[in-house]
Each structure stands twice: as structure tokens, then as C-alpha cells.
Structure 1
């Protein structure tokens, strides 16, 4: 028996229209924001000549979207990010900038948690 999971299923919010991407960063952007990866600014994983400078392909979470962490933080929850981020390095797009009070993130797409 899992009474807490049962209570969450009975009383929680069900997200019934989630779509995803086969690529990691766009999928994370979609999950964190509830928007398409292009709306979030992560329309792809790399810059291609035909996407440079185009809205939706900034390769960082943009101010056009709000993350679930930002909403939780605004509601008084303590938020933590652990794992791969790969959603932007620039000021305004880091985990702490996007609502996570604490962050133990691997920032890039190919990072390692240990020193080699």
C-alpha cells in the first residue's frame, strides 16, 4: 500500500496534454515549463545556420516562459535542482535564476560530477 501516492492521485493535478521531444534539453524545457521547446527557447540542441537569431532557438530558457520551480518558489516551496541542466549558462537562465533555491546541477550537455 502507498497511501501518500494514492492521496496524490486522488487530490493532485493531472497534466493530460504533455508532449515531449526525443532530445534531452528540449524535453527538459518542455517538462519544466509546460510549453513547447520553441516557446521555451530550446527549439533544438545546436545552432544551425537557418536557426541562428530566430526566436525559439536561443538555446536557453527565455523570459517568455515560467518554470514550475518559479511558481513553486513564489508559493513558498523550497526547490532543489539536481542533475543535468543544459538549459542555459547566461545570467537569467541558470537553475537559481529560474526558481530553484538550491542547485547541484551539471550545467552542460556533457559534464561529469567528478574531477578527472
Structure 2
């Protein structure tokens, strides 16, 4: 009788161990999908940031070019030149934000003089 009881307990313990292992693997899978979703959200936020910086630089260049043309009377040259400068500034901002171009240090800004 004691042997039957011990056998039943061992069987039940093995069954509970298997169920626990299944639950742990399911929870681990959910954690992995949460991590992947978080990485995806961070990538999307970075893309929105970079694109908005690029578009803003172009718009600022175009508006400044329009203002210069309006007050100085150099149409369309002020708009063309400042639009191109805005484009170049936008590309530089995106490259800096992406880490492809280093931000100049203080010594570089001063011309290497201490």
C-alpha cells in the first residue's frame, strides 16, 4: 500500500514537473516576443526622428531662401542656394544622429589651440 502511494506521488511529481517546464518555456517565448517588439518600437522611433530632422532642415532652408529672395530681390537664387544648404545640413544631421559622422570636439572647434 505504501509502495502504491509512493508510486502515485512520483508519477504526480513527474507530471507536475513536465507541466512546469511547459509553462516556463511558454513564458520564455512571450518574453522573447516582448523584447523583439520593444526593439522594433525603438527602431521605428529612431526612423521617425531621423526623417523629421532631415525634412525640417530642408524646410528651414527653403523658408530662409524664400525670405532672402523676397527682401533682397534675388529670386530664385536665394531659394536654390539655401535649399541646397538645407539639404546638406539635413544629410549631415542624419549622419551625426546615426553615428556615422563624429560630432566635432571642443579642441577641433577652437582650431586645435588650447
TM-score category (smaller protein): under 0.3
Pair member with larger Rg: 2
Higher strand share: 1
Higher helix share: 2
TM-score (norm 1): 0.24
